[in-house]
A and B are shown apart, each in its own frame.
Chain A
Amino acid sequence: MNKNIDTKKIIISNPLKLDCGKEINNFPIAYETYGELNSEKSNAILVFHALTGDQYVSGKNPITNKDGWWSYVVGENKPIDTNKFFVICANVIGGCMGSYGPSTINESTSKQIGTDFPIITINDMVNAQYELIKYLEIEKLFAVVGGSMGGMQVLQFVANFPDKAKLAIPIACTSSHSAQNIAFNELGRQAIMADSKWENGFYSNYKLNPDKGLAVARMAAHITYLSEKGLQEKFGRKLQDRDSLRYGFEADFQIESYLRYQGSVFVDRFDANSYLYITRAMDYFDLSKQYKGNLSEAFIKTKTKFFVISFTSDWLYPTSENREIVIALNSIGADVGFVEIESDKGHDSFLLDVPSFLKTLGDYINSTYKIINERRI
C-alpha cells in the first residue's frame, strides 16, 4: 500500500519502452541492499521477488514488522550469506512497495494512477531493474536468483543481458505460464474486479479498497502454493476453536480460518491493482515465444552458469516445467545443474525451512563462488 515508506529509492530518468508500446520515464525503483559490495565488485547477487514479495528480502520488513520474505535463504550465516555477498533486491515495477506502480501518485492530478497504469511484463520488470544495477555501477553480478515469478525474471534477465551475471538460479518456475497458471490468476483478478469497491481500479479516489475481492484472490492463490498432502497433514478436518460443527457458514474448519486469516493480513500490505498488473505480467510470460518458439535461443549468447531447482510437491510450477528449462539449456551445451528437492510443502517450499534445499543452495553458491574466484586468479 502506498504508505509513507522510508525506503531506498532511485528515479530512473532514462525512458523505458514497455512491451505494450508505451514509454515511461522518471519513474521510481525502490530497493534494499544487504551486506557490503567488495572492492572488486564481484560479490553482488540480485534477488528477484515473487508475485507478492517486495525488496525486503531479509531482516525485519519495516512495513509488516515481520521477517523478510526470504529470511531462510538470505542473511548473516544463511545460504546466501550477507557477511560475504552484497545482496540487492528491488520492488518490481507494477508493485506497491515504492516502485512505479498503479498506487504511485500521479503528480499532475495528485491521485493514484490506478488502472491508467500501463500493462507491464516480466521483460519490463527486468529491464527496469537493470537500470538499478547500472546505477549501482556493478559491471557484472555474481548471481541472479529468484523463485516463482522471481525465477521467471532470472530467465528473462539472462536472456536480455547475457554477459551480466556469472550464475543464474531460477527456482520453482517456468519459461511459459501454463493454462492452469493463467486460470488461477484470472480467478484472482475476477475476485478483485467483482468487488464493488474496486471502482474500475480507481478505488483510492473514493477512499475505498476492494479488500474482500483481494482477500479471496489471496485465499485461492494460497491453496495453489501448498500441496494436498501438506494441507491434509497440517489441517485435515480439524475444527477451529470448537468441538462440533455449528451448522452455518462460519469458519468451522481450521483450514477455513487459516485461509481467511491469510486473506485478511494480505490486504493490509498489498494493493489490489498491483495484484492485477503483476499476475497479468506473469500470464504474458512466454520466453520461448519471444525467441520464435525456441527456448534455447534465449540463452544461446550466454556463458552464465545455471542451477535450476524444483520441488516434488510443487504442482503450480511442476518439475516437468523446470526440466524444460534444463533441456533447452542442455541442447545448446550450456552449463546447467538441476535437482528436484523432496518436499511436501508445495510451491511455497522455496520460501520455507526445507533443509535439503537450503543446504544444497547454500553449498552450491559458496562452492561456485570459490571456484569462479580461483579460476580468475
Chain B
Amino acid sequence: MKEEFNIISNLIEENTRVLDVGCGNGDLMKFLQENKTKDIRGLEISKEKVQNCLSKGLTVIEGNAESDLKQFPKSSFDYVILSQTLQAFLNPELVINELLKVGKKVIVTIPNFGYWRVRLQLLFKGTMPVTENLPHEWYNTPNLHMCTIKDFYNFCSTMNIKIYKSIALKKSRISEINKSNLNYKNLDSHLGIFLIES
C-alpha cells in the first residue's frame, strides 16, 4: 500500500488539483494531502467510507464514477487517480474515458491478473485465484473485469491513450515497464501503475 502511495505521489506535481476516484477511507487522500497538495477531492460509492473520509475533514462526495464523473467540468483536475478500482466497474472503458475528460492526466493502478502467483493458482489448483492483493472468492468479489498489465497496456494503444509512465511493482520493488520487457513485467509484478493522457 505504502509503496503504491509513494509511486503515485511521485507522479504528481506539488500544489496541483487532484481527484481520487474510489477513494475508500481516504488513506491515499490523506497521504497526498500531507505530502503533495492540499487541493484534493474524493469520490466514493460506499456511504460508510464517505462518512469516514468526511470525519477526517476530507472533501469527499458520495457517488458512482460511472454516472457521477459527468458533473465535473472538462480538465478540471490536474490529476485524477483510480487506485485499484478499475476492475470493479461495470464498464471500465466508459470510466477511463470519463476520467480522461475530467483530468488533464490520469493515474490508474491495476492489480495484475497476469502475476505468476495468480496464474499458477488457476493453472495448478484450477480455482479462481485468491491472493493477498485479490482476497475475494469468485462468488463475493467486487471485481468484475480483472485485467493484466499487458491488457491495460494494449488497451491504451488500441484507444490511442498516451502512456506517460508505466511502473511495475513487485512487493516493494519498483521498475519501469516498456514495450520490450512487457511480457516479463506482466508475469513478475503484482501491481501496474500507469500515468496516462488522452
Interface residues of A (CB under 8 A from B): 305, 307, 326-327, 330-333, 335-342, 356, 359-360, 363-364, 367-368, 370-371, 375
A320 to B38, CA, bound (A): 29
Are B51 and A339 in touch, CB under 8 angstroms? yes
**For chain B, what secondary structure do more than half of its interface residues adopt (helix, strand, loop), or is it mixed?**
mixed
* Residues of chain A lying within 8 A (CB to CB) of residue B63: 338
Complex alpha-carbon distance, A335 and B61, angstroms = 10
CB contact between B61 and one of A326, A332, A359 (< 8 Å): that residue:
A326
**Please, which residues of chain A bring their CB within 8 A of the CB of B107?**
none
Q: Are A339 and B57 in contact (CB under 8 A)?
A: no
Residues of B at under 8 Å CB distance from A? 17, 38, 41, 47, 50-51, 53-63, 71-73, 76
Q: Give the chain B neighbours of A341 by CB distance below 8 A.
A: 47, 51
7 pairs across A/B with beta carbons < 8 Å?
A: A337-B59, A338-B62, A339-B60, A339-B62, A341-B47, A356-B51, A364-B57
Q: With A336-B61, A338-B63, A339-B47 in contact, do A360 and B54 touch (Cβ < 8 Å)?
A: yes
A363 touches B59 (CB 8 A): no
Instruction: Tell whether, in the assembled complex, residue B55 and residue A363 are in contact, meaning their CB atoms are under 8 Å apart.
Output: yes
**CA distance in complex: A247, B75 (Å):** 68
Given the known inter-chain contacts A305-B59, A330-B61, please indicate yes or no for A339 contacting B71, CB distance below 8 A: no
Number of A-B contacts (CB under 8 A): 62
- Whether A336 contacts B55 by the Cβ 8 Å rule is no
Which residues of chain A are within 8 angstroms of B38 by Cβ–Cβ distance?
375
Q: Are B71 and A360 in contact (CB under 8 A)?
A: no
Give min CB distance, B67 to chain A, whole Å. Answer: 11
Among B58, B71, B72, B76, the residue within 8 A (CB) of A337 is: B58
Q: CB < 8 Å: which of B47, B57, B71 contacts A367?
A: B57
- Min Cβ gap B13→A in Å is 18
Q: How many Å from the CB of B52 to the closest CB on chain A?
A: 9
Q: Chain A's nearest CB lies how many Å from the CB of B168?
A: 34
Which single residue of chain A is at the shortest CB-CB distance from B54? A364
Check if A368 sits within 8 Å of B57, measured CB to CB: yes
Whether A339 contacts B59 by the Cβ 8 Å rule is no
Which residues from chain A contact B58 at a C-beta distance below 8 Å? 337
